Amino acid sequence: MREPLLNLLHKGRCLLPLALSVLALDTVASAQTPLIEGKGGTLSNTSDGPVTTMDDRLIPGRALPSDAVLRRVVIPQHVYLLLRGLGSPDWSVRDKATRELATPEISDRVLLAAMLDQQLGIEQRSRLLGVLTKRVLEAPRGAVGIRMRSNIQGAVVVEAVIPGMPGERFLKRGDRIVFIEGRKVTTSEDLTSVVQSRQPGDILEFQIERRVANEDGVNRLDEEGRPLTELLDLQFPLGSIKQLDSNGNISKSSQVSKARQSLANGLRSRFGLAPLRVRTPDVVEEERSFINRPTDEHPAIQWLLLTFEQLDDGDEPLDATTRRLMERRLGSLVLEASDSRKSDVELAWLQKVIERFEALRSGG
**Which range, of 162-166, 309-313, 330-334, 344-348, averages the lowest pLDDT?**
309-313
Q: What is the mean pLDDT of residues 282-288?
A: 67
Give me the percent of the chain exceeding a pLDDT of 90.
38
One-letter amino acid for residue 288 of the chain: R
pLDDT-based confidence at residue 1 (cuts at 50, 70, 90): very low
Residue 320 CB neighbour total at 10 angstroms: 7
**Which range, of 32-46, 145-159, 248-262, 315-329, averages the lowest pLDDT?**
32-46
Residue 76 CB neighbour total at 10 angstroms: 19
The string of pLDDT tens digits covering residues 148-198 is 888 767 788 999 999 989 999 999 999 999 999 999 998 888 999 999 999
Q: What is the mean pLDDT of residues 228-247?
A: 84
- pLDDT at site 327: 87
Q: Cβ neighbours of residue 239 under 8 Å, at least 6 residues apart?
A: 21, 22, 23, 24, 25, 142, 143, 145, 165, 166, 200, 201
**Pick from 117, 51, 111: nearest CA to 78:** 111
Of 233 and 342, the structure prediction assigns the larger pLDDT to 233
- pLDDT at site 171: 94
Distance CA 314, CA 119 (A): 69
Q: What is the mean pLDDT of residues 58-79?
A: 90
Average pLDDT, the chain: 78
- pLDDT at site 312: 74
Instruction: Say if CB 112 and CB 70 are below 8 A apart.
Output: yes
The string of pLDDT tens digits covering residues 90-120 is 999 999 999 999 998 999 999 999 999 888 8
pLDDT-based confidence at residue 361 (cuts at 50, 70, 90): confident
The string of pLDDT tens digits covering residues 2-19 is 444 444 434 443 333 334
The string of pLDDT tens digits covering residues 208-226 is 999 887 776 677 777 776 7
Class of domain 144-240: mainly beta
Tell me the CB-side half-sphere exposure of residue 264, using CA atoms within 13 A.
16
Give me the percent of the chain exceeding a pLDDT of 70.
77
The string of pLDDT tens digits covering residues 326-337 is 888 888 888 888
**Pick from 80, 119, 83: nearest CA to 2:** 119
**φ, ψ for residue 272, nearest 5 deg:** -75, 160
